[in-house]
């Protein structure tokens, strides 16, 4: 059974710092890994999608890496801003026992950027 | 703008009542999903549908029911059999039921039992 872990559960950093969020998964047989952002009481917003054949993806100040063999992904946020404060979730996609694509989510890292 | 619309944003249910959560998408996506989110837990899959008139149980389907009569709509009914329905419910869609697709989410419905 695929398990996804995100450590730490919460992180506070001063504005302007670079930071790294971690995601680990137990089964390396994945199709892709997706990073999401969730603001309080809101839905999920997709940030980056990394296919299993890729090593990293970049969007603006965000860079996500994937090491499938070791079951790890990182989300790097450069020059953090107060607007980056949110919960960040990672999810891995794989084929379930029923033959469909299934997303398995981590519990998230709640990020607070201190002005 | 294309997207997923969930309604209502807040919903209150009395003990023993059935309630229905709406999910509509105009992305022309084939696959739609319902997830439940509880504090301190990852999202858990309730039901999913890969095509119209077909749906499958997810990991926590007991006490829930769905229908998929139209491609754009995937309503979720929380029945009285669901003993602990208070949670945040999220609807999602992907272009197809296969892999290598990006998932899009609605803004959620918060259900509270009163």
pLDDT, one tens digit per residue, over B5-15 is 999 999 998 88
Percent of all residues in chain A with a pLDDT value above 70, rounded to a whole number: 95
> What does pLDDT average to over chain B?
91
What residues of A are in the B interface, CB distance below 8 Å?
4, 31-32, 34, 36, 41-46, 49, 51, 89, 91, 93-95, 98, 100-108
CB-count exposure of residue B34 (10 Å: 0-12, 13-18, 19+): buried
Fill in the DSSP letter of residue B73. Answer: B
Helix (H) or strand (E) holding B42: none
Q: Tell me which residue in B97, B100, B102 faces A46 most closely, judged by beta carbons.
A: B102
B99 pLDDT higher than 80: no
Q: Are A88 and A7 in contact (CB under 8 A)?
A: no
For residue A108, the model assigns a pLDDT of 95
B100 pLDDT higher than 60: no
Give residue for tokens 């998929």: B68
CB pairs under 8 A between A and B: 64
């Amino acid at each position: 059974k695929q398990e996804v872990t995100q450590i730490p559960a919460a992180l506070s950093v001063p504005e302007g710092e670079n930071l790294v969020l971690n995601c680990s998964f137990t089964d390396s047989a994945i199709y892709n890994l997706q990073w999401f952002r969730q603001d309080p009481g809101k839905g999920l917003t997709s940030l980056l999608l990394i296919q299993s054949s890729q090593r990293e993806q970049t969007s603006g100040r965000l860079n996500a890496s994937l090491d499938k063999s070791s079951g790890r992904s990182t989300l790097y946020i450069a020059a953090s801003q107060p607007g980056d404060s949110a919960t960040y979730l990672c999810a891995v996609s794989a084929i379930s026992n029923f033959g469909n694509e299934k997303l398995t989510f981590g519990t998230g890292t709640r990020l607070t950027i201190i002005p | 703008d294309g997207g997923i619309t969930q309604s209502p944003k807040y919903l209150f249910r009395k003990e023993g009542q059935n309630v229905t959560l709406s999910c509509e998408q105009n992305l022309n996506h084939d696959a739609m999903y319902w997830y439940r989110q509880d504090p301190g837990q990852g999202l858990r899959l309730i039901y999913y549908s890969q095509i119209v008139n077909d749906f499958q149980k997810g990991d926590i389907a007991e006490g829930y029911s769905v229908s998929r009569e139209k491609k754009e709509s995937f309503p979720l009914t929380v029945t009285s059999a669901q003993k602990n329905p208070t949670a945040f419910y999220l609807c999602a869609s992907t272009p197809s039921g296969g892999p290598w697709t990006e998932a899009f989410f609605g803004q959620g419905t918060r259900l509270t039992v009163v």
